[in-house]
Amino acid sequence: MGITVRGGPVAEVVVDVPPVNALTVRGWHELAGAVTEAGRDPETRVVVLRAEGRGFNAGVDIKEMQATEGHTALVGANRGCCAAFAAVYDCEVPVIAAVHGHCLGGGIGLAGNADIVLASDDAYFGLPEVDRGALGAATHLARLVPQHLMRAMVYTCRNVTARELLAFGSVLEVVPREKLRDAALDLAATIAAKDPYVIRRAKESLNGIDPVDVKRSYRFEQGFTFELNLMGAGDEHRERFLK
């Protein structure tokens, strides 16, 4: 359990943190390191980011945040998420996110920064941040859904299904849960068969023409999470969630 890496031309970075793959501060930094190292390996041509268990990712570990005195855990979680999202975005090779079950909060940051998203037919995506007294990852949600839907999802905390994202083109394919890993590996093998130098330059060039600086945009959002916490809204909503 934890964060594991299976190396090779198609590297798999697997999150397995029961019960719901909500990551601690340390877990977010470990995930960032795993993705970065996989991409730096000259033998790697594609990274598949996936998870075991009930869902892809449930965001930060709120229990850790509430059990920690002061703002250390909040700052750590924000920095950890920022590092993990950036690791996916900046990975030297394409990253395929294979999403099943819930993809919430920090999961949106991971999927939204991936190059390609595949999903199982039980996958759903959402940002419950407003209900948790926080903000963030709208930057990445905006890469998955149209602008007005993104705003509605932030304000209402509603979820969307993988099939809805398929219609937008942000999910490439929806498959049965038991076929998700194979589908991701098949797609990865197609990319891995290409010239690795060309693929790495393609990744670099696509990031270079991105219209939004996702790292700066996300850090701007995080500033409002700090404000909500200082005003007491963060603690109030997190405690309500844990009851």
Q: What is the mean pLDDT of the chain?
A: 96
Alpha-carbon gap, residue 243 to 241, rounded angstroms: 6
Rounded to 5 degrees, φ, ψ at 73 are -70, -35
> Three-state secondary structure along the chain?
CEEEEECCCEEEEEEECCCCCCECHHHHHHHHHHHHHHHHCCCCCEEEEEECCCCCECCECHHHHHHCCCCHHHHHHHHHHHHHHHHHHHCCCCEEEEECCEEECHHHHHHHHCCEEEEECCCEEECCHHHHCCCCCHHHHCCCCCHHHHHHHHHHCCEEEHHHHHHHCCCCEEECHHHHHHHHHHHHHHHHCCCHHHHHHHHHHHHHCCCCCHHHHHHHHHHHHHHHHHCCHHHHHHHHHHC
Domain chopping of the chain, boundaries:
2-179+196-242
The pTM (predicted TM-score) of the whole model is: 0.96
Please tell me the least confidently modeled range out of 41-45, 172-176, 231-235: 231-235
pLDDT, tens digit, 9 for 90 and up, residues 138-157:
999 999 999 999 999 999 99
- As beta bridge partners, residue 125 has 103, 160
Cβ-contact 148, 222 below 8 angstroms: no
Alpha-carbon gap, residue 168 to 147, rounded angstroms: 12
Say yes or no to pLDDT of 70 above 90: no
Parallel, antiparallel or unpaired: strands 159-161 and 116-120: unpaired
- 2-179+196-242 carries CATH number 3.40.50.2300: no
Say yes or no to pLDDT of 80 above 90: yes
pLDDT, tens digit, 9 for 90 and up, residues 32-51:
999 999 999 999 999 999 99
Given pLDDT bands bounded at 50, 70 and 90, which one contains residue 58? very high
Alpha-carbon gap, residue 146 to 202, rounded angstroms: 25
